[in-house]
């Protein structure tokens, strides 16, 4: 007599667990794949650098909302844009709050386009070296990638 209500109680919790957003995000674990993370080597006194990468989102729509790295004082999402009007012909960089990652579409951060801006480099980026960068997403779990320094 005592066992039945107890089981009913348990299955209620199991159902509750299955329907929580945490369960959904656990399923999405590897639906975002980050590859080809690279950075250009910088001159010895350079204060800034940039990181490029490819993101393949095999899951639902998501957003890249930030980055963390210990190699620079600050790291933010940037986009290079060609100026218009009186500024035409001048490349400028815009800070972004996020980057949209539509479902099943690759996103490529590359020179002249989107990039992670590293501001206040703690040391120059040397050819052949690498450092870690954590990408933060709105839905998916954080991704830690190894950025290799290239030419």
Question: Using CB under 5 A as the criterion, which residues of the chain lie in contact with Cu ion when the complex forms?
Answer: 78, 93, 117
In the complex with Cu ion, which residue's Cβ is closer, 48 or 104? 48
In the complex with Cu ion, which residue's Cβ is closer, 117 or 145? 117
User: Minimum distance between the CB of residue 118 and Cu ion, rounded to whole angstroms?
Assistant: 9
CB 135 within 8 A of CB 113: no
In the complex with Cu ion, which residue's Cβ is closer, 65 or 96? 96
**The length of the chain, given as a count of residues:** 151
User: Minimum distance between the CB of residue 74 and Cu ion, rounded to whole angstroms?
Assistant: 11
**Half-sphere exposure of residue 95: CA atoms within 13 angstroms, side-chain side:** 8
Q: Calculate the dihedral angle through the C-alpha atoms of 39, 41, 47, 49, rounding to the nearest 10 degrees.
A: -20
User: Minimum distance between the CB of residue 121 and Cu ion, rounded to whole angstroms?
Assistant: 13
In the complex with Cu ion, which residue's Cβ is closer, 109 or 117? 117
Residue nearest to Cu ion as judged by C-beta position = 78
User: Minimum distance between the CB of residue 146 and Cu ion, rounded to whole angstroms?
Assistant: 21
User: Minimum distance between the CB of residue 19 and Cu ion, rounded to whole angstroms?
Assistant: 41
Burial of 144 (0-12, 13-18, 19+ CB in 10 A): exposed
| Helix, strand, coil share of the chain (percent; to 5) | 15, 50, 35
In the complex with Cu ion, which residue's Cβ is closer, 24 or 120? 120
Cα separation, 76 vs 78, whole angstroms: 6
């Amino acid at each position: 007599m005592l066992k039945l209500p107890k089981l009913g109680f348990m299955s209620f919790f199991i159902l509750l667990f299955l329907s929580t957003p945490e369960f959904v995000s656990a399923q999405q674990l590897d639906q975002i794949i980050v590859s080809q993370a690279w950075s250009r080597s910088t001159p010895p006194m350079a204060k800034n650098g940039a990181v490029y990468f490819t993101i393949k989102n095999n899951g639902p729509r998501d957003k890249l909302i930030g980055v963390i790295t210990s190699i620079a004082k600050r790291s933010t999402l940037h986009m290079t844009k060609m100026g218009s009007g009186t500024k035409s012909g001048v490349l400028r960089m815009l800070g972004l709050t996020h980057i949209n990652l539509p479902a099943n579409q690759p996103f490529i951060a590359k020179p002249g386009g989107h990039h992670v801006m590293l501001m206040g480099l703690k040391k120059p980026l040397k050819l052949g070296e690498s450092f870690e960068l954590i990408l933060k997403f709105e839905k998916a779990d954080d991704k830690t990638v190894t950025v290799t320094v290239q030419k």
